[in-house]
Structures are given as structure tokens and as C-alpha cells.
């Protein structure tokens, strides 16, 4: 009888606690959950530049990035984009998917750059929505997608899901005379360098967010600057920097594209006339000048995080949406080409458990960013993401290079250099090729450039899960005679 009374007592107490919990204000639940999440989850500052190359000295102005992120963290020296064009690349960064899966195929509304289908589908599945749902406070400032804010798809009233603080640029990159969507309300900016220079505005809003934050919840902050995109307008105080520099005269600078190049590469006046070369040099200098303000922003954000004692628990990621070419093969100014100038991008990261001052040659693409961020945040990676998490690779204390595998058989670099392989499931024309190294990984299929060891690799999917689109893309790459990436179709 006594035991039964004790049992009733405990049951009554449990019911009382349960009633009190569920009848209490919802904010109490949120606070308890936030305290748990904050205790176990890191912060993120993700800095995304626009058209910043790494091959043609694009990191030259970034002294603070090198000192405060690279030196204190890890540089991934073989970082590439799956599609070297703004909107497709940014959509891949946000979703962790290849272009043929998120379907933002170009920079137009009809190409689903912030179009209706994008808003109804992929935009609801970005890493921001997962972070937000898991309790992160999310902040975005700067360029989102090239067609964001278009009246046909909701204008600036449309705030993409997952973002608590939203300062989205309407349209494409610019430095003055633009409109921001401030949590769905239009904010117009003019030509005052102190009040309107976009990179400075992004920096100020970022610091405002940090200043107002109580840090009770972990935060994710994405700073998407216009530099070094056209119109290449530097902040006035930097307008005279780098005046003695000119665009790097690489071996393929201003040379006539031979018959071996794709027909598109052979169009236009080749080699470039002197006035065009002068324009290329001028653009090169102004691109670097615009990046100096970005470097200032990085310094200000890092210093603030240090003052409020959040730096040690914050991942800082620095990369670009694509590279850029400046006169290579007599192509004046742009990206879009499957050459290393356009597809190779800077990528450096610091944060908890990231080794300091290291360079890792492990190859990666922009589709790996979303799953890596989620994995570092302790959030399960969705199956629809094509990318893979880099967490295990970037938290190593030593760079172990590249593990080369072919059909589950480990091969040395020497063996790969000597042989030709027919990879099952691929057309003879595309896949029967001499490769100088092949890195096989699940759900990936993109060409990469030269490693520090002078080996070349192609990251290919060799299971039956490969889509026809990937085969088509690979055929295009081979057709372009992408020799500098070490992959040649057999005649």
C-alpha cells in the first residue's frame, strides 16, 4: 500500500511538471532550447566575393584575410566552382546542388535566377532554412541572386525563407545607386561614398547585427559583397592604389586561340588591340582596389568578434562565386569559360578545430559548402544535396593529400599515369581517356586543376547514379579540349 502511494506521488509530480511546462509561455521553451543550442553550436561568418579570381592575383589586396583567416586557419588550394557564372554558382552554394538539380541555369528570370520555380522549390531548401529551423539567428547582406527583387517575382517584398535579418541587393552587383530590401522594405541609396558605398554599408549592417545580438543563440552571417564585379568602382580612398600594376601576362595572355580550341574561343579580334589590352589592365587594377574595402570589412568583423569573446567559437569562411579571366586566349573580360582562371576560386576557413596556417590540396567545389556548413553546425545533411561535407578533411591536423581510388581499387599516382581506363557506365567517346589521376567520390562530377604535387585530377562519379546531364557536361568539357586539366579524349 505504501509503495502504491509513493508511485501515485511520483506520477502526480510528473503530471504537475508537464502541465506547468506546456502551459508556460512559449518563449520560455525557446529560451531553454536556445541555451542548449548555443552551448553546443558554433557561429558562422560567411564572406562571399563576386568574380574574385585566385589565379590572376585576385588575393593580392587581401592582407587581412591572409592574416586573420588563412594564417589562423586552413586554405583549400584546389577549390573550384561547378559552373563559373554568378546565379548558377550562387544557387549551387545555397543549395549544395549541381545546376541540373536546382535548375537556375543562367542569370535570367526565364533561366530561374530567382525565378518562380526557384522560389517555389530550391529556395525553400537552402542551408539558411536548415540553420534557421535548428535555432540559428540568420543574417544576410549584399548580393543574393542577379534577378532578386524583380517585380515579376515579388519585388523587394520577397524575403527568401530562412533569413531573420535581410538586407538583399536588388539586381546585380553595383557600388552606388542601388536599392536594398531591408526585411522586405525598399531602401534607396545614392552616390555618397560615406553613406552609400555598398561594401561599407554591408560592413556597417554586419557590425550593427553583432552589436545588437545577445549571443544567446548561435548566429550565421552571410556577407555577399559586390567586389570585384563590374562596374569595378573602388572606394575613393583607394582609387590610386596599384597604379603601377598591370594584368598578369600569363603564357596564354593575348595569344590567338588555335584550331584546337572550341570555335567560340576563336571569335573576335585576336590578338587583342592595344586599346583593349589597356582596358584590361585598368579593370585589373580597379578590381583589386574594390577588394581593399572588403579586406577592411573582414578586419572590422574579426576584431569585433574578438572583443565580444565570440571569435574562438566562430567559423569564418572566405570564398568567391567564380573566378575571372583577363586577356587569356585573347578573351578580354569575363568568366563562363571552363579554364582555371574562371573556375578556380579562393577558399580559406578558420574556426573551432581547424588547424592554423595550413594549406590542404584536397579538391572541392562550391556544392560542398552547404553540406560542410550544416555538418559543422551539427545538422544532418539532407540527401538531396549533391555536395559532400569537408568537415573530416578540414579538421585534420595534417594535410594528407589526395586518396586516389578507381572502382574500389586503390592505385598509386604512378600506375594512373601509365594506363588508360574504361570506366563502366560511360560512353566510350567520353570516358576512354588517359588520365593523370582520378579521384572518385560519391555524388560528384567535375574537372579539377593541377595539384601542388603536379598531378592532375578529374573528380568523376563512376557509379550508376550519374545523370545524363553530367555525361553531357563532361562531353562538352572534353570537346573544349580541356588539356590543362589533364584530361584528353582518346583519338
Q: What distance in Å separates the CA atoms of residue 84 and residue 95, rounded to the nearest whole number?
A: 16
Q: What percent of the chain has pLDDT over 70?
A: 73
Tens-place pLDDT, residues 301-357: 999 999 999 999 999 999 999 999 999 999 999 999 989 999 999 999 999 999 999
Q: What residues are annotated to the active site?
A: 86
Query: Which among 417, 477, 420 is positioned nearest to 446, based on CA atoms?
Result: 477
Q: Which residue has the higher pLDDT, 460 or 31?
A: 31
Mean pLDDT across the chain: 80
Instruction: Assess whether pLDDT exceeds 50 at residue 426.
Output: no
235 with 59: CB under 8 angstroms? no
* Whole-number pLDDT of residue 124: 97
Q: What is the mean pLDDT of residues 469-489?
A: 31
CB-based burial label for 366 (10 Å; 0-12, 13-18, 19+): buried
* Whole-number pLDDT of residue 400: 44
Tens-place pLDDT, residues 218-251: 999 999 999 999 999 999 999 999 999 999 999 9
Instruction: Assess whether pLDDT exceeds 90 at residue 4.
Output: no
Q: What is the mean pLDDT of residues 103-124?
A: 96
* Whole-number pLDDT of residue 396: 76
Q: What is the mean pLDDT of residues 118-138?
A: 97
Q: Rg for the chain (alpha carbons), in Å?
A: 25
Which CATH topology does 41-394 take?
Alkaline Phosphatase, subunit A (3.40.720)
* Whole-number pLDDT of residue 262: 85
Q: What is the mean pLDDT of residues 451-465?
A: 31
DSSP-assigned letters across all residues of 349-373: EE-TTPPSSEEE---EEGGGHHHHH
Say which residues have a Cβ less than 8 Å from residue 25's Cβ, sequence separation at least 6: none
Tens-place pLDDT, residues 263-281: 888 888 999 999 999 999 9
* Whole-number pLDDT of residue 3: 55
- 2 pLDDT band, cuts 50/70/90, is low
Q: What is the mean pLDDT of residues 179-206?
A: 98
Instruction: Assess whether pLDDT exceeds 60 at residue 26.
Output: no
Show the cell assigned to 204.
556597417
Q: What is the mean pLDDT of residues 402-410?
A: 34
Tens-place pLDDT, residues 29-50: 444 444 445 557 999 999 999 9
Q: Which residue has the higher pLDDT, 270 or 472?
A: 270
Tens-place pLDDT, residues 480-490: 323 233 333 33
* Whole-number pLDDT of residue 165: 98
The overall longest dimension of the chain from CA atoms, in Å, is 102
Instruction: Assess whether pLDDT exceeds 70 at residue 138.
Output: yes
Q: What distance in Å separates the CA atoms of residue 172 and residue 106, rounded to the nearest whole number?
A: 13
Cα 51 to its chain centre, rounded Å, is 11
Say which residues have a Cβ less than 8 Å from residue 479's Cβ, sequence separation at least 6: 262
99 with 83: CB under 8 angstroms? yes
Amino acid at each position: 500500500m505504501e509503495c502504491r502511494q509513493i508511485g501515485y506521488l511520483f506520477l502526480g509530480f510528473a503530471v504537475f511538471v508537464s502541465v506547468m511546462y506546456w502551459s508556460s509561455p512559449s518563449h520560455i521553451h525557446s529560451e531553454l532550447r536556445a541555451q542548449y543550442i548555443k552551448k553546443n553550436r558554433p557561429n558562422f561568418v560567411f564572406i562571399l566575393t563576386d568574380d574574385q579570381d585566385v589565379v590572376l592575383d585576385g588575393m593580392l589586396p587581401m592582407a587581412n584575410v591572409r592574416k586573420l583567416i588563412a594564417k589562423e586557419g586552413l586554405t583549400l588550394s584546389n577549390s573550384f566552382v561547378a559552373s563559373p557564372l554568378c546565379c548558377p554558382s550562387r544557387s549551387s552554394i545555397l543549395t549544395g546542388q549541381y545546376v541540373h538539380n536546382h535548375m537556375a541555369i543562367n542569370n535570367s528570370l526565364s533561366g530561374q535566377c530567382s525565378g518562380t520555380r526557384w522560389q517555389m522549390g530550391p529556395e525553400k531548401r537552402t542551408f539558411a532554412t536548415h540553420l534557421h529551423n535548428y535555432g540559428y539567428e540568420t543574417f544576410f547582406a549584399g548580393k543574393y541572386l542577379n534577378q532578386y527583387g524583380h517585380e515579376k517575382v515579388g519585388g523587394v517584398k520577397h524575403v527568401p525563407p530562412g533569413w531573420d535579418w535581410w538586407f538583399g541587393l536588388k539586381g546585380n552587383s553595383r557600388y552606388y545607386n542601388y536599392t536594398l530590401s531591408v526585411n522586405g522594405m525598399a531602401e534607396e541609396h545614392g552616390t555618397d561614398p560615406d553613406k552609400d558605398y555598398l561594401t561599407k554599408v554591408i560592413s556597417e549592417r554586419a557590425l550593427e547585427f553583432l552589436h545588437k545580438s545577445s549571443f544567446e543563440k548561435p548566429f550565421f552571417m552571410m556577407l555577399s559583397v559586390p567586389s570585384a564585379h563590374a562596374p569595378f568602382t573602388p572606394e575613393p580612398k583607394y582609387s590610386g592604389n596599384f597604379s603601377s600594376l598591370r594584368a598578369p601576362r600569363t603564357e596564354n595572355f593575348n595569344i590567338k586561340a588555335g584550331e584546337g580550341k572550341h570555335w567560340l574561343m576563336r571569335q573576335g579580334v585576336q590578338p587583342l588591340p592595344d586599346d583593349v589590352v589597356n582596358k584590361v589592365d585598368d579593370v585589373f587594377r580597379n578590381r583589386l582596389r574594390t577588394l581593399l574595402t572588403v579586406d577592411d570589412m573582414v578586419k572590422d568583423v574579426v576584431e569585433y568578434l574578438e572583443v565580444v569573446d565570440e571569435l574562438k567559437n566562430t567559423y569564418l569562411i572566405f570564398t568567391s562565386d567564380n573566378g575571372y579571366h583577363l586577356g587569356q586566349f585573347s578573351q578580354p573580360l569575363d568568366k563562363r569559360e571552363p579554364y582555371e582562371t574562371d573556375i578556380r576560386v579562393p577558399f580559406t576557413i578558420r574556426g573551432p578545430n581547424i588547424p592554423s596556417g595550413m594549406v590542404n590540396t584536397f579538391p572541392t567545389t562550391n556544392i560542398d559548402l552547404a553540406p560542410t556548413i550544416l555538418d559543422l553546425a551539427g545538422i544532418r545533411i539532407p540527401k538531396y544535396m549533391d555536395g559532400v561535407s569537408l568537415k573530416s578533411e578540414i579538421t585534420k591536423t595534417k594535410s594528407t593529400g589526395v586518396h586516389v581510388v578507381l572502382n574500389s581499387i586503390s592505385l598509386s599516382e604512378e600506375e594512373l599515369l601509365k594506363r588508360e581506363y574504361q570506366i563502366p557506365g560511360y560512353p566510350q567517346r567520353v570516358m576512354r581517356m588517359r588520365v593523370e589521376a582520378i579521384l572518385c567520390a560519391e555524388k560528384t562530377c567535375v574537372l579539377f586543376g593541377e595539384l601542388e604535387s603536379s598531378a592532375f585530377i578529374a573528380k568523376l562519379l563512376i557509379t550508376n547514379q550519374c545523370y545524363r546531364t553530367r555525361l553531357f557536361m563532361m562531353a562538352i568539357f572534353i570537346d573544349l579540349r580541356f588539356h590543362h586539366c589533364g584530361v584528353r579524349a582518346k583519338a
